[in-house]
Each structure stands twice: as structure tokens, then as C-alpha cells.
Copies of this chain bind each other. A is one copy, B any other.
């Protein structure tokens, strides 16, 4: 995964409310009206959080009558964790920069 995309995903997870929502969705799917009383913030606030989680691929929505059920995209969450545990090796880029003299080796 590219840095920009991974950073975007990490930023989506880097909010306590969204992080807890993701944890909740591990247990079971939830609709917005369930999440509102849990977090004590307004319905639009929850909607925006869900929208952001959806944009970064962490959550899928399923319309069911009036309700919109959000479910966790476990593969995506797993992928982010793996990317974080396995960040790209930039030693080659470092070597090239050093060769071009663009990199001062301090010490």
C-alpha cells in the first residue's frame, strides 16, 4: 500500500470515536440510530464518522428498510495492520540519494 493511502487509513482510525466504532463493529453490525446514544454526540456527527470510515474502506453499509447497517470490513482492517507491521524498505532509495550526493551522512 502506498504511504498516502495508508496514512489516510491510519488517520481515519486515529480518532477515539471512530476507533471505538470499529471495535464495536467487531461484535456486531450497527445502524446509526444505535450508535448515537452510545457516544452521546449528534446523529450528523455519527453519520460523518461513518462516511469517513466508508471512504477509507473500513466499513460497508447495507440498507435495510429505514435503517443503514454498517459492518466492519475485516479484510481492510487486517490489511492496514499488516501494512503498518511491514512498512516498505526504503534502504534502496536511501542508497540512491547518497550516490547522488543529495544526502549528507552526518557524524
Asked whether, in the complex, the Cβ of B20 is within 8 Å of the Cβ of A90, the reply is yes
Beyond contacts A10-B10, A67-B107: 17 other A-B pairs, Cβ-Cβ < 8 A, are: A3-B19, A7-B14, A10-B14, A11-B11, A19-B87, A20-B90, A23-B88, A23-B89, A26-B87, A26-B90, A27-B90, A28-B94, A34-B103, A34-B105, A34-B106, A37-B103, A38-B97
The copy count of this chain in the complex is 2
Chain B residue nearest to A4 in the complex (CB): B16
Q: How far is the CA of A23 from the CA of B67 in the complex (A)?
A: 42
Asked whether, in the complex, the Cβ of B38 is within 8 Å of the Cβ of A106, the reply is no
Q: How far is the CA of A15 from the CA of B7 in the complex (A)?
A: 5
Asked whether, in the complex, the Cβ of B19 is within 8 Å of the Cβ of A104, the reply is no
